[in-house]
């Protein structure tokens, strides 16, 4: 289905829980209250919404959280989503803490890719950012998933005066293995609104300063996924470098996604607090109403975000509640 600006919307990010086993300062610091479980969609409700969405042309799904692997039944949900007749792809974003435990099961249910959020390879900085000394668990999870043949990507957020020099160590992952490392500009949402991010323009100049001219990839050369990342190749690297420049490289004209929170609130754009809840409709077994609400959300997708104008951002919820 196309939105009112003619963009094809074929991708939905689904938060299946607001709970997480880390406490990253810009996402879910200590003290945030969890949503009562009765307010969160069941696995069957999520699947039914996705079934209807697939009939509208949304055939690619990203399972997120919170941390999705802490949700009981996450593997079963992925299996059900993969079994929908129109599904083309199901991927997962995780912090990697439980990846060693679940990697083999993820392969078994047919996951199409795993994105691991990892901001540093320094144990001390990892603990400062996430609240826990669990870096070894994440590294072990990445290694296990990769060795099992899963498609793995790394997502890194650089913050000034926190981990802004971590790009060099993170790039070594892409240098040594066919794993894409993507740098995501801090989105000014929730607790991230008060953090100083490193712009990808600045980062690209640093990369060029160290490695010389890098080659920008085109879609014709290689397709990496459904997101807005711009990919670059560095000579001698086995993986690619992706830049997701939400603030300094607006990509709204090609946006292909909507989001759904764990409570069933469908968000056409991350920047604004507007959206439509489909929970009541799906919970009361009204599929035609779910379809109508999804169509309304897609068609009502705004032309662009306003991350560059913080005073115009209306979304105030934490990223852990929206879905990363």
Per-residue model confidence as pLDDT tens digits over 3-57: 999 999 999 999 999 999 998 877 777 777 889 999 999 999 999 999 999 999 9
User: What residue has token string 């990253």?
Assistant: 24
pLDDT for res 193: 53
Say if residues 223 and 285 touch (Cβ distance below 8 Å). no
Alpha carbons within 13 A on the beta-carbon side of 185: 23
126 or 217, higher pLDDT = 126
For residue 220, pLDDT over 50 is answered with: no
pLDDT exceeds cutoff 80 at 308? no
Full set of structural domains in the chain with CATH: 11-322 (3.20.20.70)
pLDDT digits (tens, 9 = 90+) for 66-103: 999 999 999 999 999 999 999 999 999 999 999 999 99
Q: Report pLDDT for 194.
A: 59
Q: How would residue 221 be classed by pLDDT, with cut points 50, 70 and 90?
A: very low
> From CA 275, how far away is CA 264, in angstroms rounded?
10
Q: Provide the angle, in degrees to the nearest 10, between the axes of the packed helices 74-83 and 43-55.
A: 20
Mean pLDDT of 165-188: 94
Taking all residues of the chain, what is their mean pLDDT, rounded to a whole number?
Answer: 91
pLDDT for 312: 63
Is residue 121 over pLDDT 70?
yes
Give CA–CA dist 291/152, Å, rounded. 33
User: Quick one: CA dihedral 137, 139, 144, 148, positive or negative?
Assistant: positive
pLDDT at 310: 67
Tell me: the pLDDT tens digits for 226-282?
778 899 999 999 999 999 987 776 788 889 999 999 999 999 988 788 899 999 999
Q: Cα–Cα distance between 82 and 89 in angstroms, integer? A: 7
Please give the Cα distance from 43 to 200 (Å, whole number): 37
The alpha-helical segments, DSSP class H, found in the chain are: 43-55, 74-83, 99-108, 123-130, 135-147, 167-176, 200-211, 279-283, 287-299, 319-322
* Percent of the chain's residues with pLDDT above 90: 76
- pTM, 2 dp: 0.92
Residue owning tokens 């199409």: 112
């Amino acid at each position: 289905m196309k939105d009112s600006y003619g963009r094809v919307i074929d991708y939905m990010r689904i938060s299946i829980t607001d709970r997480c086993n880390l406490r990253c300062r810009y996402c879910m610091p200590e003290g945030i209250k969890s949503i009562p479980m009765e307010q969160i969609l069941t696995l069957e409700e999520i699947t039914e919404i996705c079934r209807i969405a697939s009939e509208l042309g949304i055939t690619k799904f990203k399972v997120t959280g919170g941390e999705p692997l802490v949700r009981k039944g996450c593997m079963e949900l992925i299996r059900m989503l993969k079994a929908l007749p129109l599904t083309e792809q199901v991927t997962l974003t995780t912090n990697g803490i439980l990846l060693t435990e679940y990697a083999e099961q993820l392969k078994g249910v047919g996951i199409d890719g795993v994105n691991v959020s990892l901001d540093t390879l320094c144990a001390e900085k990892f603990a400062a950012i996430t609240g826990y000394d669990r870096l070894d668990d994440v590294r072990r999870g990445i290694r296990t998933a990769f060795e099992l043949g899963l498609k793995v990507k790394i997502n890194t957020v650089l913050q000034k005066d926190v981990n802004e020099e971590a790009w060099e160590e993170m790039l070594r992952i892409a240098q040594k293995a066919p794993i894409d490392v993507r740098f995501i500009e801090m989105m000014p949402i929730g607790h991230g609104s008060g953090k100083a991010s490193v712009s990808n323009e600045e980062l690209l100049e640093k990369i060029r300063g160290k490695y010389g001219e890098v080659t920008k990839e085109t879609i014709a050369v290689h397709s990496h996924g459904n997101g807005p990342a711009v990919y670059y190749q560095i000579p001698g690297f086995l993986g690619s470098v992706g830049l997701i420049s939400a603030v300094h490289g607006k990509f709204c004209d090609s946006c292909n996604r909507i989001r759904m929170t764990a409570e069933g609130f469908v968000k056409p754009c991350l920047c604004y607090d507007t959206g439509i809840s489909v929970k009541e409709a799906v919970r009361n077994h009204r599929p035609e109403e779910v379809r109508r609400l999804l169509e309304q959300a897609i068609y009502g997708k705004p032309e662009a975000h306003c991350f560059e104008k913080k005073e115009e951002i209306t979304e105030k919820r934490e990223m852990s509640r929206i879905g990363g």
